[in-house]
Structure 1
Amino acid sequence: MINPYAIRQLLRPAHVDDVKVVLAVSNDCIASGSRDGSIGIWKLETTDEEAGSSSSFQLKALLGGHGAYVNSLAYIPNGDPSSAYIASGGNSTMILLHSLETLDPESTHALLGHSLNVCTLSYSPQRSRLISGSWDKTARVWKKHDLIDHDESNEALWATELLLEGHVEAVWGVAIVEEGPKAGHYLTGEACDPSDRLINLWDPSGNMLLRIKGSPEPVRSISMDGNTFISACNDGLVRRWDMTGSVLQIYRGHTDYVYHVVARDGQIVSCGEDHSARVWASEPEARVLLHPCQSVWSADILPNGDIVTGGSDGVVRVWTADSGRTATEEAQNAYELEVEEGMKLFKQEKVADATSANVTTKSPQSLTIDIDIRRVYGKMELMLSDDADPIPLTISVGGGSR
């Protein structure tokens, strides 16, 4: 099967740490959020050259305010393009709104309520609601209010309409149902104990209607696709569900955690820990978009069908199946070489011939590891959480357990 997708552009060097989330605002605008605490706004610009005009995304602003990892983004059109916002969440526990018109680095609104990392956001233009999910085991539905009868502070414009409680663990995925008989309902995905990885369905009043066993592993991401929804999980599978909780289809291909999934116009894009984003359409097999970095944290689909991804190397990548928008042949060859070198480096740094490993932790500061290993090809870093700095791990080779 020929893969029609090729690199269109690499967007760098705006971020100096992992790009945890990307957002396709329009064909001409992309937003990115990073562990470096910034939100990049990239806009398409056309330049006239001797050989003709060319278009490329250029960094227009770096927005701030969190002072911590940025892990989630949402676009709020607000009915008028001149008053559209980018909503962002992260380890600061705040949801900040920045104006897309002014691109002021300072936020215009701060939505307060969560007590831990805000790891997922989704906005519904049809319902005029923003939903957020957090490590504090709650999801919140936010509604914008008129200034009448409110204090004129920025925070008074938005308030929590619903607090969705009852989750056992962190809420990693959220979605607002926009079509079908369940329009106006909410979905939340959480990481529970191994026997009960759940997706929850809530009615418009905030009552839990259904608890769906999502997978044997944590549910990482949820995306609506008409009157069905798609989930991504740590078991490497992407699933399509109906609103009764029945699995309609399973998409197989990823070889490691799937961190994010997005659906648009009959197309599904998923990405994860296996160096790849995968495009699922009518074909039985996915189109694989290889990355030189190990973790592809986030993906989104532009209205024109192009794809944007964010990875652990701090680079935002734009992909296209339109031959009129692909990068030059020289740039594509350079990227293929970068992928080849990245994969080679990853293999060299992997631990080889490991036969067993046991990890016990009582806190991020207290860790005991028993590992039986014959050979090490580099240093290891231990990730205790997606939103915590990796812990350097040194292994000294001796006899027995190491």
Structure 2
Amino acid sequence: MTNTKGVTMLVERNTNNNNSTNKIHRPKFGAFLHSEPSLFHTTNNDDDQGRISSASAASPRTYFGDSSSSNNASPNYMLSPLNQQTSSPLNKSPWLMPSSEAINLFQYHHSHRHDNNYNDSYFPENGLIGSLAREEGHIYSLAVSGDMLYTGTDSKNIRVWKELKDYTGFKSSSGLVKSIVISEGNIFTGHQDGKIRVWKISSKNSRNHKRIGSLPTFKDYVKSSMNPKNYVEVRRRRNTVKVKHFDAVSSLSLDQEEGLLYSGSWDKTLKVWRVTDFKCMESIIAHDDAVNAVVAAFQTYVFTGSADGTVKMWRRDTDGKGKKTKHVLERILLKQENAVTALTVNDSSTIIYCGSSDGLVNFWEHQQKNNLTHGGVLKGHKLAVLCLAAAGNLVFSGSADKNVCVWRRDERGAHICLSVLTGHTGPVKCIAVEEHEEEEDDRDDQRWIVYTGSLDKSVKVWRVSEHAPELRLMQGWNSPIAPGLNYSSPGTINVSNNSNRRQLQK
């Protein structure tokens, strides 16, 4: 068992209410505009596979709302899972189990969790439940629906998992699967070649998935192509119909109440689709560079993050009948040199989180109407943040440094790093979270099932609690962890001492 001294997690929180521009000196981040997995794995660079603009050493950053900055680099806490001693007491931990045992426990949990005599004492309290792997390709996207887990890879396959087992799969003729969202039985997949496919589960056999359409529809495309005003110039001497993405679809987000699907693309556009008939309602040239992330939130808003370093907030206006939809730029939340690589929203606490290629996570608090205040910066990663997910009081950030940080927001609005999920041998590209449901539970905290997908071709399944002391006890230590030390083991949760785990800078 290894330990690392002097490791701290930093959380910056703002107290200045005036807008300002701060200069932060950060190392240059390489421009991977069209990097392929084969190129990625022939080098020793674990950068993002998305569209990333190069950043200068002097990196100006502007926050709209409260401002925050620091000249401290993100802490280097790369705890290697390879330097473990066989004598580690963590080897006896109940969640470092053979995969067959993990599958049996997972099946037992899903089958009996609503029984009156259900007992989950053998189910790991916190930690790694199991790993899913197929030699099919690098994992780029995840989505959870009921007891089904969907994974998208660069092999063009969408794999379906059930109870930690390979259940079924289906293949698309489009490029690698960069995004997956699910709405009322329809599975939407965004692809590298600019296509959005729509799939439906067979009512007779849940193992069968049928493609029922593509966005835009053929009818919509032909109708738009008849009007010269619907053409846009995409490259020199080349035009295309604006209802169609001509570059990779990097992100998808659903507004379930309004029945709208949002798609962001490396072609710099944000497109709005009506879910009922797959009609393109609107196409917006949203940024000056590739759109890497899109998320719908707060009922009438959608947020976009781009390789141009900006986060934009758009307001949706409708005619009341749902026939016409128009999005207006409300404000720009962030301007910086580093690419914005991920966005997520915590609907319960009305907070939006933004991950960047510099390893930082910015967040804004939605207080009233369109008033968003910059809340601070979470520092926990050495390399680019590639994905984000929020659930309850927790937010999860996955990075090119192969780790996942678990952050908890307390009642005062401050964020602390509860733990670090380690074990992936490649950049963590996607995260999905679902509530750990239990019929009767006398615990005072919430637990979650967390799925992390990586370019190491695996998906890891974790159970995580919001209660920090239990994260420490589950490692088998009866005495408090020594100040300033982190303990790690392959595929485990690293937890540092409360008093030394982070610093709150005001």
TM-superposed deviation, 1:206: 2.1
Q: Which residue of 2 aligns with 1:285?
A: 374
TM-superposed deviation, 1:153: 8.6
Specify every segment of 5 or more residues in structure 1 that has no aligned partner in the other structure, as ranges.
Answer: 5-9, 16-40, 49-54, 78-83, 338-402
Q: Which residue of 1 aligns with 2:406?
A: 318
Q: 1:306–1:254: structure 2 CA closer, same or farther, 3 Å change rule? A: farther
TM-superposed deviation, 1:294: 1.7
2:145 and 2:206 map into 1 onto residues whose CA distance is 20
TM-superposed deviation, 1:185: 2.7
1:198 and 1:254 map into 2 onto residues whose CA distance is 19
Matches within 5 A, 1:268-307: 268-282=352-366, 284-302=373-391, 304-307=392-395
1:224 and 1:12 map into 2 onto residues whose CA distance is 35
Specify every segment of 5 or more residues in structure 2 that has no aligned partner in the other structure, as ranges.
Answer: 1-11, 16-76, 83-105, 110-119, 217-243, 317-325, 367-371, 411-415, 417-465, 470-480, 485-495
Number of matched residues? 272
Q: 1:2–1:135: structure 2 CA closer, same or farther, 3 Å change rule? A: closer
Q: 2:284 aligns with which of 193, 209, 212?
A: 212
Q: 2:193 aligns with which of 136, 139, 146?
A: 136
Q: Which residue of 1 aligns with 2:139?
A: 70
Q: 1:96–1:170: structure 2 CA closer, same or farther, 3 Å change rule? A: same
TM-superposed deviation, 1:317: 1.2
User: Aligned with 1:108: secondary structure?
Assistant: strand
2:285 and 2:335 map into 1 onto residues whose CA distance is 21
Q: 1:176 aligns with which of 247, 251, 254?
A: 254
Cα distance per residue 1:244-297 (max 9 Å; x no partner): 121123211654111111113111111120111122114622321113322110
Q: 1:128–1:153: structure 2 CA closer, same or farther, 3 Å change rule? A: closer
TM-superposed deviation, 1:336: 5.5
Partner AA of 1:290 in structure 2? K
Partner AA of 2:279 in structure 1? N
Q: 1:120 aligns with which of 171, 179, 197?
A: 179
User: Aligned with 1:137: secondary structure?
Assistant: coil
- Is the 8 Å Cα contact of residues 174 and 195 (structure 2) preserved in structure 1? no
Q: 1:103 aligns with which of 144, 164, 171?
A: 164
2:255 and 2:290 map into 1 onto residues whose CA distance is 21
1:12 and 1:316 map into 2 onto residues whose CA distance is 12
- Is the 8 Å Cα contact of residues 234 and 258 (structure 1) preserved in structure 2? yes
- Is the 8 Å Cα contact of residues 259 and 271 (structure 1) preserved in structure 2? yes
Q: C-alpha root-mean-square deviation of aligned residues, in Å?
A: 3.3
Larger RCO (CA under 8 A, 6+ residues apart)? 2
Q: Which residue of 1 aligns with 2:155?
A: 92
Matches within 5 A, 1:3-402: 57-65=126-134, 67-77=136-146, 84-99=147-162, 102-104=163-165, 107-124=166-183, 127-147=184-204, 154=207, 156=208, 158-165=209-216, 166-179=244-257, 183-192=258-267, 197-203=268-274, 204-225=276-297, 226-243=299-316, 244-252=326-334, 255-265=337-347, 266-282=350-366, 284-302=373-391, 304-322=392-410, 325-326=467-468, 330=484, 331=496
Q: 1:117–1:318: structure 2 CA closer, same or farther, 3 Å change rule? A: same
Q: 1:71–1:12: structure 2 CA closer, same or farther, 3 Å change rule? A: farther
Q: 1:85–1:91: structure 2 CA closer, same or farther, 3 Å change rule? A: same
- The TM-score normalised by the length of structure 1 is 0.60
TM-superposed deviation, 1:141: 2.0
TM-superposed deviation, 1:176: 2.3
Cα distance per residue 1:134-190 (max 9 Å; x no partner): 10210112222211xxxx593x2x2222201421111111122212xxx22322111
- Is the 8 Å Cα contact of residues 11 and 316 (structure 1) preserved in structure 2? no
- Is the 8 Å Cα contact of residues 70 and 89 (structure 1) preserved in structure 2? yes
- Is the 8 Å Cα contact of residues 200 and 208 (structure 1) preserved in structure 2? yes
- Is the 8 Å Cα contact of residues 230 and 263 (structure 1) preserved in structure 2? no
Percent identical: 18
TM-superposed deviation, 1:227: 3.1
Name whichever of 256-265 and 201-210 sits farther off: 201-210
Cα distance per residue 1:187-207 (max 9 Å; x no partner): 211112xxxx21111223222
2:212 and 2:405 map into 1 onto residues whose CA distance is 36
Q: Which residue of 1 aligns with 2:227?
A: none
User: Aligned with 2:203: secondary structure?
Assistant: coil
- The TM-score normalised by the length of structure 2 is 0.49
Q: Which runs of at least 4 in structure 1 moved beyond 3 Å after TM superposition? A: 1-4, 10-15, 322-330, 332-337
Larger Rg: 2
